[in-house]
Amino acid sequence: MYCEASPGSGRSFIFDICCSKKLKSMRLLKLYTYFFIIIITLTKCKDTSKKADNATSEIQAIIDSTKNIENDVIENEKKVAFELNEDNAIDFFFNYEKTLTSNKVKITTSLGSFTVELYENVPYHRANFIYLTEKGYFDYTQFHRVVKSFIIQGGNSDDEKTGKKRRDLGRYLLPPDTRKGHKHHRGTISMPSSEMDNPHMLASPFEFFIVVTEPGSYHLDNEYTPFGRVIEGMDVVDKINNVPVEKGDWPLQNIYIEKAEIIE
The confidence score (pLDDT) of residue 81 equals 73
pLDDT digits 0-9 by tens, 104-156: 999 999 999 999 999 999 999 999 999 999 999 999 999 999 999 999 999 99
The confidence score (pLDDT) of residue 57 equals 66
Summarize the chain as % helix, strand, coil (round to 5). Answer: 40, 25, 35
Superfamily classification of domain 89-263: Cyclophilin-like (2.40.100.10)
The confidence score (pLDDT) of residue 11 equals 37
Closest to 140 measured CA to CA, from 109, 104, 171: 109
Average pLDDT over residues 161-169: 95
The confidence score (pLDDT) of residue 186 equals 98
7 preceded by cis ω (within 30°)?
no
Whether the predicted pLDDT of 217 surpasses 90: yes
Rounded to 10 deg, the angle between the 89-97 and 123-134 helix axes is 90
Global pTM exceeds 0.75:
no
pLDDT digits 0-9 by tens, 31-88: 455 555 545 544 555 555 555 566 566 556 656 655 566 565 555 544 447 899 999 9
**Which of these ranges, 163-167, 172-176, 185-189, 191-195, has the smallest mean pLDDT?**
191-195
The confidence score (pLDDT) of residue 9 equals 42
Looking at the chain, the whole-number percentage of residues with pLDDT higher than 70 is 67
The confidence score (pLDDT) of residue 203 equals 87
Mean pLDDT across the chain, nearest whole number? 81
Write b or e for each residue in 150-162: b if 16 or more Cβ atoms lie within 10 A of its Cβ, otherwise e.
Answer: bbbbbbbbeeeeb
Decide which of 19 and 235 is more confident: 235
Write b or e for each residue in 62-74: b if 16 or more Cβ atoms lie within 10 A of its Cβ, otherwise e.
Answer: eeeeeeeeeeeee
